[in-house]
Amino acid sequence: MFRFCEVITVATEIEMKLTVPSHEVMEQLLADPQLTEYMRDPLETCRMRSTYYDTPDHALQTRRWTLRLRDEGGAHIVAMKTPNASEETGFFTRHEWQCRAENPRQALPRLVDQGAPAELLSLIGDQTLVPICGADFERRCTCLYLPENVRIELAADEGVLSGGKNQMPICELELELLFGESEALPPIAQRLAQTYGLIEESQSKFIRALTLRETPAEA
């Protein structure tokens, strides 16, 4: 994920996801004065194409691990994530490691060197990594500079999730903590939800795309 402000990079992702009713509502909230007052940089737009991988015997799904290759405007980033550890709806706390690589297998040793579970290498071994679902969306992103040195990445995503022969549109807002206390996220998310009729999203893009894959296509 591209970044817009200087932060300390850690192997933990803390974010909240909110479903936005429509493109029109997204435009309204991105122009909200209570958000724009914390923006020092303009929104930057990037096309994101994500492909999620697993082994034929679903070794990663069994452990609820996610392995993703994302084309971020021409830059190829492989990420590995562990399950969400938060019990709060819409709140995601996950370990995440990522690196630049052209394919997920090339990235495996690098991810382990960064701290990803060493079991990842033996678990996959010589098995083929196959694409199982994906996402294709446009992201508009910037950084919110809040008091007490809190930095939050705001990302507005619009596009589609795909799994099997099925697709589903997405229009959602992500608020990811880059630096500071996680308590800063819920107040912003709750205010936006109340003002614009947003719904806290309890599932990641991967889980929703995987559900599409497992859903029979309509005749």
pLDDT of residue 26: 98
Architecture of domain 12-213: Beta Barrel (2.40)
pLDDT of residue 10: 41
pLDDT tens for each residue of 65-107: 999 999 999 999 999 999 888 767 678 899 999 999 999 999 9
> Token pair 């930057």 is at which residue?
44
Query: Where does the pLDDT of residue 7 fall: very low under 50, low under 70, confident under 90, or very high at 90 and above?
Result: very low
Q: How many Cα atoms sit within 13 Å of 63 on the Cβ side?
A: 16
Bigger pLDDT: 91 vs 1: 91
Long-range contacts of 55-63 (CB under 8 A, 24+ apart): 55/123, 55/124, 55/127, 55/128, 55/129, 55/130, 56/127, 56/128, 56/130, 57/127, 59/123, 59/124, 59/127, 60/123, 60/124, 61/210, 63/123
What sign does the CA torsion over 128, 207, 185, 82 have?
negative
Sequence spans of domains, the chain:
12-213
> Token pair 């500079």 is at which residue?
145
pLDDT of residue 89: 67
The average pLDDT across 121-139 equals: 95
Query: Where does the pLDDT of residue 178 fall: very low under 50, low under 70, confident under 90, or very high at 90 and above?
Result: very high
- Given a cut of 80, whether residue 5 has pLDDT beyond it is no
Q: Is-contact 176 160, C-beta < 8 A?
A: no
pLDDT of residue 108: 96
Q: Which residues 6+ apart lie within 8 Å of 32 measured at CB?
A: 192, 195
pLDDT of residue 126: 92
Report the chain's terminal Cα–Cα distance, integer Å: 37
- Least confidently predicted of 31-35, 201-205, 215-219: 215-219
Percent with pLDDT over 70 in the chain:
93
Concatenating the DSSP letter of every residue in 63-85 gives: TT-EEEEEEETTEEEEEEEPPP-
Q: Is-contact 77 106, C-beta < 8 A?
A: no
- Given a cut of 80, whether residue 135 has pLDDT beyond it is yes
Bigger pLDDT: 206 vs 12: 206
